[in-house]
Structure 1
Amino acid sequence: MGHTVAVRDLDNLTSWHSEWRGVRVVILGLGVSGFAAADTLLELGAGVLVVAANAGELRREMLDVIGGRFVEHSGSEVIPKQLDEFDAELVIVSPGFGLDHPLIAWAQGRGIPIWGDIELAWRLRDKVGAPAEWIAVTGTNGKTTTVQLTTHLLVAGGLRAVPAGNIGVPVLDAIRDPQGFDVIVVELSSFQLHWMPRSGPGAMAPLASVCLNIADDHLDWHGSRAAYVDAKATVYANTKLACVYNRADAATTRMVEDAEVQEGCRAIGFGLDTPGPSDLGMVDDIIIDRAFLEDRHNSALELTTHGELAAAGLASPHMIANVLAAAALARSAGVAAPTISSALSTFRIDRHRTEIVVTSGGVLWVNDSKATNSHAADASLRSYDSVVWIVGGLLKGVDISDLVAGHASRLRGVVVIGLNREPVVEAFARHAPQVPVFEVDATETGDVMPQAVKAAARIALNGDTVLMAPAAASMDQFTDYADRGTRFAEAVNDYLEGGADDDDPAPASPATGAP
């Protein structure tokens, strides 16, 4: 039996003040962004049907109160009859909804347009008057820190700025804030960018944009590295003033070279080496801006020093790269160099990102639970000379062999966590057989970190760093990376306060021998 969707020109829906009333919208997912989409569209008078595998009781109750409908769908091939009866004109997909999900196939098969929450927010950004400028930030690693840094610098420069997207508030909430903003700094995942058009009425046109770096991640979702890189490259499309890129990452350079941008937009490079004109970089231990000044061919501006960054906990190489990127974005928005310098001294990094838990007995314990992929773990490992590494979790289809081989010389020992530890153990057996490897085979979430900490404490010597940088997602055993990091920190403090008992049974099984 044929199915027809009522025809409505969605291209005309480019403003909060467009005619949204009566538009029938299916929203896939009822997480933070899904609920924000439902709340926004119901405020506009659209008809909303939310479909999700599960949803918290509070959100379901709130959805009911504001006038939305909810249908549970487990992800099976069977499409709920309520969807066909609803006769949707538009689908809004939450980030992370797999491309192979039956509901995506259902929408595509019926020719129903699919938008992400970012496209919806871009179209509606004029609710409270003149729209805020957007600064768009993506990359495999460092997004959250860079968004926080950029927002901090913008606020120091007197601008009303807010971090949004995957960090802070959903973009749909930010554009509806009655006070309004001058700038919204938007953290964008590859999932969100996949659904963003590069042209047409829904295409984002940021004031400035950056892809911080590219490494293999989410390949299981995108299907290939090429598709992942292509999604990330969308961040640069239509940029107005500054496409900021990483000089040390050829992929980001190519993205900027290939980007269709607005007339007058500049390419601004950043890196830990000496900057050329239109770049930010380092000369000795001084952070230099050669991009945002009149005579950039013959002079430069000092923004800060390595020593000043060290005092703020920002002196590791990957953190300096984040500082350079954020400074470039803030400078593009008009923040003065002296303001950048003073504001950097008052910034503090987020929890679970190379967060020092404690130093005890000459051993430094570091929580980098936010290192959810190999690229992030690589940056973290490079910051320390002798490491007991806690690694493992949901690898997302990524082979960590290169990471293991590259850091074998700095590893005192390894503690492997996660439900599927075999790929990690095998990587060490192949590429670093001399490194002692212990497995934590706990099945209960509450037992994982206490056992991992005990194992690490047995291995670590004076001068070592016990680094929890899992190079993997957390959802196989934990709620999220924050839960994993919090449990690690608690386990460290509990272990050190309780004291080690030499008669304790071995907390983990040695996989390749004992230290």
Structure 2
Amino acid sequence: MSAPLDPSYEPFGGVRDLTHRDADWSGLRVLVVGLGVSGFAAADALLERGAVVSVVSPDTNDAIADRARILEVLGARVVAGEPLADAAPVNTDLVVTSPGVPPTNPLLVACADAGIPVWGEVELAWRMRSREGAAPWLTVTGTNGKTTCVTMLESILQTAGLRATAAGNVGLPILEAVLHPEPYDVLAVELSTFQLHWSRSISAHSAVCLNVAPDHVDWHGSYDEYRRMKGRIYEHAQVACVYNVQDPQTEQLVRDADVVEGCRAVGFTLGLPARSMVGVVEDVLADRAFVEQRQTSAAELCEVSDLAVDGAAPAPHYVADALAAAALARSFGVAPAAVRDGLRAYHPQPHRVQAVATFDDVRYVDDSKATNPPAARASLTAYDHVVWVGGGQLKGADVDDLVREVAPRLRGAVLIGVDQQQIADALARHAPDVPVRQLASTDTEVMDDVLREAHALAQPGDVVLLAPAAASKDMFPSYEARGDAFAAAVRRLAEGAAGSST
């Protein structure tokens, strides 16, 4: 269905010409879809520039209601809590959609059929940069590790004395960062495939795709399309396309990208770096990409021990994230000493391989952010003996390969969530001797039972690891809430253990 046109409609002349914040946005008729943080920021920025803004949100809650009231005072028309229509309002010039709305949504399909441009908030942010002197973007995507990499990069850039922040899919909403009254020197931008799908114009200074594995196939329609959207991070890159040597798919995405003439391909590897790579040489992170004599020498960036987390040696995927962050920083001219100091100063984000407690000689680790099998694999293979806490919404993912690979490390498994039986069946096939405890309760208080079962299975020196390999919303509002529940249950168990020993 096409969006209807009023006979007196005069199209806004030049959506394509809206390439910077000082362009003439006044009179542009915009439909903003979604009223989360990014939708609010988009509507606010457009209203400030004189656009005529309508906002629709199928969801409603207290936060959305507050945002709606503010936007209505500013002049927007807001409809929240009603299903999305299957056509845009009459005479709409532009749709700005939130990343969670899939392209198959009837409203967005109708807009495409009617020839109405659809942007995401990231595309809008790129087009609202200053005409001159805008902060360059260093962009990061990947199935796993995005937030760790981009916040490592933020730490490095700030340590180098640059005014920098992490933005996009983490940290500041990208529009707030772009329009900040005190301009940034550079932005570390995390981008999901949801955001990349709606982006066309971004020309990053340098970009990295950390890895690609099946995820969000339900949103994208196929793995090939999901992978293609990951590759969009490299389009129009100016200085460096950083890829993962251990994941050849990422190198192919670089080969397929249309980049600015002179942009280089730079690999990162956990092995010895060849020319135009960063890698590891005898426990030293080394740069053979951004040094003048890279044919015969390398610059020392830091030691692997500088990446220790809570005194423990870093997992391989954590080292890989650090190498990718270092490569992006080096592409921007950051000195090796600042890379080292920034990585030393970095503290991992919550719920990402986060140590919670150690008692009875057993470590308890929260990696609730491991919401798909590849992320869980990275955590599980970092430890020799693990009691695995897993389960939730698998989103159609297959866990057979994961279970087959990690089976020798498993001391036991405690499973929760709607798709736990799929994991239990895989364990029965590939790890029949591993004791499995299944908990049917969907009450969030089930974590106390989870920890009691896990504690009973663990032996001295083991790790009890929450690495669900699944999304959380069958039981918890978010992966953060799931991790918080795990950590709180660990602390209660530790207090009980301490009390029984006195």
TM-score by length of 1: 0.92
Alignment partner for residue 57 of structure 1, among 65, 84, 90? 65
The residue matched to 1:345 in structure 2 has which SS? helix
1:30 and 2:35 aligned: yes
Q: Which amino acid aligns with 1:232?
A: K
Q: Does structure 1 conserve the Cα–Cα contact (< 8 Å) formed by 2:301 and 2:340? A: yes
Shift of 1:440: 1.6
Q: Does structure 2 conserve the Cα–Cα contact (< 8 Å) formed by 1:314 and 1:320? A: no
Q: Does structure 1 conserve the Cα–Cα contact (< 8 Å) formed by 2:167 and 2:173? A: yes
Shift of 1:72: 3.2
1:131-150 matches, cutoff 5 A: 131-150=134-153
1:98 and 2:97 aligned: no
Q: Does structure 2 conserve the Cα–Cα contact (< 8 Å) formed by 1:414 and 1:437? A: yes
Shift of 1:452: 1.4
Q: Which amino acid aligns with 1:41?
A: L
Shift of 1:492: 0.8
Shift of 1:431: 2.6
Please, which runs of 5 or more residues in structure 2 have no aligned partner? Answer: none
How many corresponding residue pairs? 491
For 1:336 and 1:314, locate their aligned partners in 2 and report how far apart those are by CA, in whole Å. Answer: 25
Shift of 1:6: 4.7
Q: Which amino acid aligns with 1:13?
A: L
Shift of 1:501: 11
Structure 2 residue aligned with 1:507: none
Q: Once superposed, what is the RMSD of the aligned Cα atoms?
A: 1.9
Please, which runs of 5 or more residues in structure 1 have no aligned partner? Answer: 198-202, 503-515
TM-score by length of 2: 0.94
1:324 and 2:329 aligned: no
Structure 1 residue aligned with 2:375: 376
1:405 and 2:404 aligned: yes
Shift of 1:74: 4.7
Q: Which amino acid aligns with 1:26?
A: L
- Residues 113, 73 of structure 1: alpha-carbon distance in 2 compared, 3 angstrom cutoff: farther
Q: Which amino acid aligns with 1:458?
A: A
For 2:73 and 2:493, locate their aligned partners in 1 and report how far apart those are by CA, in whole Å. Answer: 47
- Residues 67, 206 of structure 1: alpha-carbon distance in 2 compared, 3 angstrom cutoff: same
Structure 2 residue aligned with 1:367: 366
For 1:119 and 1:477, locate their aligned partners in 2 and report how far apart those are by CA, in whole Å. Answer: 33
Alignment partner for residue 161 of structure 2, among 158, 177, 183? 158
Shift of 1:309: 2.1
For 2:31 and 2:77, locate their aligned partners in 1 and report how far apart those are by CA, in whole Å. Answer: 10
Q: Which amino acid aligns with 2:17?
A: N
Shift of 1:258: 1.6
- Residues 74, 419 of structure 1: alpha-carbon distance in 2 compared, 3 angstrom cutoff: farther
Deviations 1:421-462 (A, max 9, x none): 2222222223322222211211322x2312211221121111
1:75-90 matches, cutoff 5 A: 75=83, 79=86, 83-84=88-89, 86-90=90-94
- Residues 168, 357 of structure 1: alpha-carbon distance in 2 compared, 3 angstrom cutoff: same
Shift of 1:105: 2.2
For 2:375 and 2:134, locate their aligned partners in 1 and report how far apart those are by CA, in whole Å. Answer: 34
The residue matched to 1:49 in structure 2 has which SS? strand
Shift of 1:401: 1.1
Shift of 1:75: 4.2
Shift of 1:167: 0.6
Q: Which amino acid aligns with 1:60?
A: A
Shift of 1:306: 1.8
- Residues 314, 246 of structure 1: alpha-carbon distance in 2 compared, 3 angstrom cutoff: farther
Deviations 1:11-70 (A, max 9, x none): 111111111111111111111111111111111111111111113332222222322222
Q: Which amino acid aligns with 2:345?
A: T
Deviations 1:305-364 (A, max 9, x none): 122222676721001001100110001111111221222211111111000000010110
Q: Does structure 1 conserve the Cα–Cα contact (< 8 Å) formed by 2:352 and 2:370? A: yes
For 2:102 and 2:378, locate their aligned partners in 1 and report how far apart those are by CA, in whole Å. Answer: 28
Structure 2 residue aligned with 1:67: 75
For 1:422 and 1:500, locate their aligned partners in 2 and report how far apart those are by CA, in whole Å. Answer: 34
Structure 1 residue aligned with 2:181: 178
Q: Which amino acid aligns with 1:110?
A: A
Alignment partner for residue 129 of structure 2, among 108, 125, 132? 125
For 1:387 and 1:346, locate their aligned partners in 2 and report how far apart those are by CA, in whole Å. Answer: 29
Q: Does structure 2 conserve the Cα–Cα contact (< 8 Å) formed by 1:354 and 1:367? A: yes
- Residues 286, 501 of structure 1: alpha-carbon distance in 2 compared, 3 angstrom cutoff: closer
- Residues 6, 474 of structure 1: alpha-carbon distance in 2 compared, 3 angstrom cutoff: farther
Structure 2 residue aligned with 1:393: 392
**Identity between Structure 1 and Structure 2 (%):** 47
